[in-house]
Each structure stands twice: as structure tokens, then as C-alpha cells.
Structure 1
């Protein structure tokens, strides 16, 4: 879909989550792994991912063992698509096998080949095989992109050229080093990670990036600081606003949201967008907020649902009614609670029905201005104490009746069921 407010082209999943986003600025540099030719510069086929979620499905590095399939995939794409086709591989156990594979790939007509200098079973802690990448570069005529040099070789911009030189590659591909600090591409020198983080958050807010992706990228940048108070606060964040609050950028977040809403209003007036924030919740007249239940914010025995129920009872309103649906794609839940003819829901989906209902209750409490409401702890304790006392009294009566019944059946005279320790000892007759 085209986002006129953000000036982006968004690819959206069935769950309405943006899975890929690009803009005019990236038109000549984006390499995408699926097809929409007008928005991209090239298409890359990843045959190097060693993760089990790829290989067990015959994808990623699993393709390295199927040269016929590799040839078929690449040849079909080269013939059927006008954009350049590239592929990425890992090296095979022997140099002979590796060279044979890259020559086969070259014959399919691909524009370039990226080589990660480790085998499928090797991980980042293993040395990258620069000599194998160099041999590949010398064996084929198409451009070879060297990959796998993060940390071991590349720590700053100048190291990129050194890695390219030692592998005789035409260019270099970076992943980990770029995620740790994107300013590694800056010829003038790397920026402090704190500066990069704030710049990244600004982009994430301006382009309405999904908070889970933003959070993941920030965690990669923090690295060794993830166990610090700052890292723990980031880990607990459940929305873009909460992420901004962690880094003291909530004012920036609010200013961007105001500007985006104003832009939507302008576009609506000329018919470029149908309505402001027309999601399913608003279509059903549901008040929705991006709030999720965190049990750490509540007493162990007092939940948002209990607070809302107590509030309704005090005002002699009907009990809150919850309606919950499950999303087929990921099995997550969303609840809508109806209170006094109004409906409330969280825009964030939860892993269970119980959590979804609690989240909906929080949205209602927040909307009603009851975010600080708490059941009187002494009243709650008294209610619980009375309930437990009633249960104990009932249990004691039942036990006593059963005991007396057995005594009667055995012809024994009745004795009190509960006796003090001295009386019990005397009647039992403790002898050594």
C-alpha cells in the first residue's frame, strides 16, 4: 500500500503489520527478496542462512546441497524478471566443491554472488575463511561480495577496504557490524552509539516503524548494556512511546504524531485517504489504546479486571462483559470489554485470553481516568480473611461430624474432636 503521509510504500501482512517498507530515497539501492519490480533495484536469493528454521524447510543453506534446484531457481528468475538477480551462499566443506558451485551459479546469468566465508556448521566465533572467498573471486568473472568479516576484521569504516582487499572481492556486505553501530559506514569516523540510537529512534518514529523491530535493533546496539538499568527498561518497553520514554524522547514522539495527524487531515480533505486512523477497532466504535497488562504493576491478588468490577459495583452498573477473538495467523488474542454501553480494547494482541482481558480492562480504567485506582488493601484483606475463615469453619464442622459418626458406629463414647495438647497426651498414655 502507498502511505501518502509517510511517503512510503508498505508491504503489509494479513495481520496489518508492516513487514517491509521503502521510499523514493531508496529506489536505486534496495535489494529485496521478493518481487515488486517498480520499488526495487535488484532481487537477492538467500542460500546462506544456516538457521534451523530455514534449513529444515529446505531453504537457506539447505539449498547448497541441491545444485540442480539452485540452477533452476536462478535461471528462471534471470529469464523472467528484468531486474538484476543475485544470490548469497556459504562455502562448502572443500574448496573444490565450492568452486564448482559458484561456477554453476555464474552460468545461470546472475549479476553477482555474495559469499559468507564460513560453512553451514560454522558460527560467528569461528574464523572467516578469507582465502576461500579470494579463490572464488579469482574463479569467476561476475562480482563477488565478501561477507562475514564483522568484529574479526571490521570495527570501523577503514577496515571495510582492508577486508575487501584481502578477499579480492568487488565489494563487502556487512550485517553484525552495521547493526551494532550503523555509523560504521561513516568515512569521517564512527559516532557514539548513544547518538546513533537517538537518530535511529527519530527515524523509527517518523516512519511509524513497528515497535518490536525498533526494539530489536536498539538491543543490538546496546549489546553489553542490556543488563544495565537502561537495557532492562528497553527490554520492558511495549510500544514506540515507551521506547521513546526510555531515551527521554517522548516529546519528539508526541510532536511527530501531531504532525502526522495534521497531514492525514489535509490528505483526507482532498480525498487521498479515506479517514483518520480507520482501523477495525474504530469502525466498531471501540476506544483503543496500545496498552498491555504487566502483572508487576499490580498487587498479586488485585488485577485490572477486579478493579474494574469493583468500580462498576460501587456505581451499581452491570458487570463488565468481555468478548475475545483469536487471530488465526499467530494464535494471539484480543479482548473487547463493554462497560456502561461503551467498548474498550487494547491494540496490542496477547498470548492468552486471560492476558487480553486484563489489557482491555486497563484501557477502560485509563480512559475513565482511573489509572491510579486501587482497591483498599485493608478491605481486600478483610474480605479474603472472612472468606478463608468461613472455609476453615466449614471444613472443621465437616471433619468433626465425620469423626463423631465413626465413633458412634464403633460404639465408642464421644470425645471432643479438638483437644489441647496436655489432655490429648494424658488420654493417649505416652509410655517409654
Structure 2
């Protein structure tokens, strides 16, 4: 059976050794990039790959607190072809990545302690393109698991971003009120920023990254469900992301929303969105590879 993934597509101190290895890695270029923002409970592997398929150059994972990562062990998942960071003593995957995204995925960490941050960075720096320390959210907002969707619905202050970009020589990434592909160019021109990051616009329709224009809302939802099946995404995360897609375009109290609430597995989502055959193909392939 064909692999369904083909369809988706200088001292002796150890810290010094990490620094030497890291210095040999390619420097990340943050200029002229379209970037998927970090979004709690949304920015898991399936959604990051979906955004990349549509044209995202850099994809941030959801913010994960250092304490949480320090409870994890790194495991190679041969069945999925992923690298999983799993909470010790459980089967709970805290962070999952794969070789397909290694050149563009950024791990975002919430931390207030340099030693913990360095320890976490040592755990996963070989598996991601870059590691980002979250300095953009108030501490209470970050630690309580706040979401981009919780931000006040005020217009983005592009003029303030322009003032920052004008004052700095390093690349500035602008974000705010990017809902169409044309908005990437508009915000860059208005702010002079080096790159553009999008959160809500991508969460509501990941094809905002496509220069060819947006795909239909229904198509994007189905593509997301297929990726959740392929990468065995946590059902709670899958349902939460679908909820965010639905409430923007419709109402979660309508039949589709109520049906999503009732789903308890990716198999249920496959039935709801007409992806039973794809689910069968993936599960049969996995069954054959484990024989």
C-alpha cells in the first residue's frame, strides 16, 4: 500500500558545546517572510503543515511553558515518522514535529528562568529551526493559556509598528489585521517591517498564505481534518481548532458545531467531514507497517 504521507505533504562545559554546534547552523533569515503566529491549542503539527502547504515560510508552534517541557522525554515515533516530546509516565504528547517542517518550525517557549530555558533548548534544538522566548504576552495572560482570539477587537496600530521598524536595524515582524493575502503587502508597505506574521486570519482560513487566493472554508477544514488523521493529532486540539474555524464563519450551535463537540476521536471527525476512505487508508497503512 502506498504511503499516505506522500499525499500530504572554548571550554569543556556542555553549554559551550551547545553554543559551538548552534553557531555552525544556518542563521535564520527573518526578512521577506510570511509567518504563522504562535497560537495556543491551534499551532500543533497538522495546522503548521497546513499553513506551510499554503505558503507560510516560517511556522511557530504554540507556546509551551518550560516546566511542562522539563517533564518530557524525547521519543522517535517510527509509526508516524515524528519526533515526540512525551510527558514522563504518560502517553501525552506535549510537542510533536517531523522532518518535513524542520527547516521552518519555531518552538516558542514560555519561561522566566535562564537555566530552565537553556535546558529545554538543549532538549530540542536539533529538531527545530529556531527557539523563541515569548516576550510578547503579559505573564498572567501567557501562563493562563490565553489565546490570540482573546485579544481585544481593536484595529491594529500599524503606525506604531512603523515607528519601531524605523528605529531599529534588526528585522521587525509586523502583525495585526492580516486577513487576505493582499494584506501582507499592505502592512509591509505601511510599516516598513521586514516580514509579516498572521494569527487570526490564518486560524480562520489557513489559505490566507496562498498567493493564488483563498481556498473555500469547507476545503480548508477537510484538509485540516486529513492532516489530523495523518499525524494522529490530539482530538481536543483538533476539535478546538475546528471550533475556531466554525465560529468565525458560522455558529457553533448549528448542527456542524454540535457534531464536532460530540466527536471523541479522529475517526469521528473523518465520518463528519466525509474523510472515511482517507482514514481507512491511513489506518490500514499503519497496520501493515507494524506487522
Q: Please indicate the TM-score interval, normalised by the length of the shorter structure.
A: 0.5 to 0.7
- Residue equivalent to 1:398: none
SS in 2 for 1:47: coil
| Residue 257, structure 1, aligned to residue 257, structure 2 | no
Q: 1:139 aligns with which of 155, 163, 167?
A: 167
Q: Which runs of 5+ in 1 are unaligned?
A: 61-115, 117-121, 266-432
By how many angstroms is 1:53 displaced?
4.8
- Residue equivalent to 2:10: none
Q: Distance in 2 between matches of 1:250 and 1:142?
A: 48
- Residue equivalent to 1:426: none
**TM-score between the two structures when normalised by the length of structure 1:** 0.44
Q: Distance in 1 between matches of 2:290 and 2:267?
A: 20
Cα displacement string for residues 214-241 of structure 1 (whole angstroms, at most 9, x for unaligned residues): 1111111112232211111011211111
| Residue 24, structure 1, aligned to residue 99, structure 2 | yes
Q: 1:11 aligns with which of 73, 85, 99?
A: 85
**TM-score between the two structures when normalised by the length of structure 2:** 0.64
- Residue equivalent to 2:211: 187
Q: Which runs of 5+ in 2 are unaligned?
A: 1-74, 110-120
Q: 2:134 aligns with which of 46, 51, 63?
A: 46
By how many angstroms is 1:251 displaced?
3.0
Q: 2:157 aligns with which of 125, 129, 143?
A: 129
By how many angstroms is 1:50 displaced?
4.0
Point out the structure with max Rg over C-alpha: 1
Q: Distance in 1 between matches of 2:243 and 2:143?
A: 26
SS in 2 for 1:242: helix
- Residue equivalent to 1:238: 264
SS in 1 for 2:152: coil
Q: Distance in 2 between matches of 1:260 and 1:55?
A: 37
Give the CA RMSD over aligned residues: 2.2
Q: Distance in 1 between matches of 2:143 and 2:165?
A: 26
CA contact (8 A) 2:179 2:202 kept: no
- Residue equivalent to 2:197: 173
SS in 1 for 2:173: strand
Q: Distance in 2 between matches of 1:209 and 1:55?
A: 23
Q: 2:252 aligns with which of 209, 226, 230?
A: 226
By how many angstroms is 1:44 displaced?
0.8
The number of residue pairs the alignment matches comes to 199
